[in-house]
Structure 1
Amino acid sequence: MRKIIATAILLISAIYVGYAGSIASVQSGDWNDPATWGGAVPGTGDDVTVSHDVTINSSLVVNSLTFGQAYYPNPDIGTLVIGSNSIVTVTTGETNLNRSGNVLTVEEGSSLVKTSGDFKVSAQATVAINGGVEVQNGDFTVSGGNNSTLIVAESGSLAVSGEFTYAHSNQTIDILGNVTVGSMKASGGSGTTFNIGSTATFTITNALTITTTQSFLVNGDFNIGSVSVTGGSPIFEIGEGGSMNVFGNFDLASSGGLDISAGSGTVSVGGDMNIAGGASANVDGTLAVDGNLSIESDGNRITGSGSVSATTADCPGDDCGIGDEDEVTSAPAPAPEPEDPSLPVELMSFVLSADQNSVSITWETATEINNDRFNVYRSDDGEDFELIYTVDGHGTTNDIQRYGYTDYPGLSGVYFYQLEQVDYDGKNEFFNVKQVAFGTASQTQNLTIYPVPLSANEDFYVSYPETNEVVTAKIYDLSGSLSLALTAERQQNRIRFMSAELGLQSGIYIVQIQVGQNITTQKIRLQ
Structure 2
Amino acid sequence: MRNRLSQTIFIVLPIVAMPPLVHAAASVQSGDWADPATWGGAVPGSTEDAVIRAAHTVTVTTAPPRAGAQVNAGGTLVIAETGRLEICVGCIFSNSGTVEVGGELVLGEDSSGATYKNWAPFTIHPGGSLVVTRNATLENALSTLTNDGHITNNGFLKNVLNGSSTLINHGTIDNNGILLNDVEMTNTGTITVGLVDIDLGLFSSSYHFVSEGGTVTTYPGSIWTSQEIFRMTNGAVFYNHGSFRTTGGIHHIVGNSSFHNYHEVAGATSLSAYDGGTFYTYCGATQNTVFGTVVDVCADTLFESGFE
Does residue 78 of structure 2 align to residue 97 of structure 1?
no
Q: Aligned in 2, Cα 1:223/1:292: closer, same or farther, shift over 3 Å?
A: closer
Q: Partner amino acid for 2:118?
A: V
Question: Percent same amino acid among aligned pairs?
Answer: 14
Does residue 222 of structure 2 align to residue 245 of structure 1?
no
Correspondence for 2:55 among 85, 93, 108:
85
Equivalences for 1:468-483 in 2 at 5 Å?
Answer: none
Q: Aligned in 2, Cα 1:222/1:147: closer, same or farther, shift over 3 Å?
A: farther
Q: Partner amino acid for 1:238?
A: S
CA shift, 1:202, in A, is 2.2
Q: Partner amino acid for 2:129?
A: E
CA shift, 1:78, in A, is 0.9
Q: Is the 8 A contact 1:120 1:141 kept in 2?
A: yes
Q: Is the 8 A contact 2:231 2:251 kept in 1?
A: yes
Kindly tell me the number of residue pairs found equivalent between the two proteins: 255
Q: Partner amino acid for 1:150?
A: Y
Q: Aligned in 2, Cα 1:67/1:246: closer, same or farther, shift over 3 Å?
A: farther
Q: Partner amino acid for 1:68?
A: G
Q: Which residue of 2 aligns with 1:68?
A: 45
CA shift, 1:110, in A, is 1.2
Q: Is the 8 A contact 1:125 1:149 kept in 2?
A: no
Q: Report the aligned-residue RMSD.
A: 3.1
CA shift, 1:96, in A, is 4.8
- Supply the distance in 2 between the matched residues of 1:107 and 1:164 (Cα, whole angstroms): 20
- Supply the distance in 2 between the matched residues of 1:304 and 1:250 (Cα, whole angstroms): 22
- Stretches of structure 1 that go unaligned for 5 or more consecutive residues are 1-50, 70-76, 332-527
Instruction: Give TM-score scaled by structure 1 length.
Output: 0.43
- Tell me the alpha carbon deviations over residues 448-475 of structure 1, each in whole angstroms, 9 at most, x when there is no partner: xxxxxxxxxxxxxxxxxxxxxxxxxxxx
- Supply the distance in 1 between the matched residues of 2:269 and 2:216 (Cα, whole angstroms): 21
Q: Aligned in 2, Cα 1:67/1:279: closer, same or farther, shift over 3 Å?
A: farther
- Supply the distance in 1 between the matched residues of 2:79 and 2:282 (Cα, whole angstroms): 51
- Supply the distance in 2 between the matched residues of 1:323 and 1:89 (Cα, whole angstroms): 51
Q: Partner amino acid for 1:53?
A: A
Q: Is the 8 A contact 1:238 1:244 kept in 2?
A: no
Equivalences for 1:154-173 in 2 at 5 Å?
Answer: 155-161=120-126, 162-169=128-135, 171-173=136-138
Q: Aligned in 2, Cα 1:194/1:164: closer, same or farther, shift over 3 Å?
A: same
Q: Which residue of 2 aligns with 1:399?
A: none
Q: Aligned in 2, Cα 1:144/1:267: closer, same or farther, shift over 3 Å?
A: same
CA shift, 1:193, in A, is 2.9
- Tell me the alpha carbon deviations over residues 193-230 of structure 1, each in whole angstroms, 9 at most, x when there is no partner: 321134222233222223x3424233122435012232
Instruction: Give TM-score scaled by structure 2 length.
Output: 0.70
Q: Aligned in 2, Cα 1:209/1:126: closer, same or farther, shift over 3 Å?
A: same
Question: After the TM superposition, which of the residue ranges 178-187 and 316-325 deviates more from structure 2?
Answer: 316-325
Equivalences for 1:375-414 in 2 at 5 Å?
Answer: none
Q: Partner amino acid for 1:201?
A: T
Q: Is the 8 A contact 1:216 1:234 kept in 2?
A: no
Correspondence for 1:134 among 100, 103, 106:
100
Q: Which residue of 2 aligns with 1:228?
A: 192
Q: Aligned in 2, Cα 1:81/1:267: closer, same or farther, shift over 3 Å?
A: same
Correspondence for 2:288 among 321, 330, 337:
321
**What secondary structure, in the 3-state scheme, does the structure 2 residue paired with 1:97 have?**
coil
Q: Which residue of 2 aligns with 1:194?
A: 157
- Supply the distance in 2 between the matched residues of 1:284 and 1:148 (Cα, whole angstroms): 32
CA shift, 1:106, in A, is 0.7
CA shift, 1:152, in A, is 0.9
- Tell me the alpha carbon deviations over residues 249-302 of structure 1, each in whole angstroms, 9 at most, x when there is no partner: 22112111221113xx334354322222x42321522333343222224xx023
Q: Aligned in 2, Cα 1:118/1:244: closer, same or farther, shift over 3 Å?
A: farther
Q: Which residue of 2 aligns with 1:52?
A: 23
- Stretches of structure 2 that go unaligned for 5 or more consecutive residues are 1-21, 37-42, 296-302
- Rg larger in structure: 1
Q: Aligned in 2, Cα 1:287/1:166: closer, same or farther, shift over 3 Å?
A: same
- Supply the distance in 2 between the matched residues of 1:119 and 1:246 (Cα, whole angstroms): 32
Correspondence for 2:266 among 302, 309, 328:
302
Q: Is the 8 A contact 1:152 1:158 kept in 2?
A: no
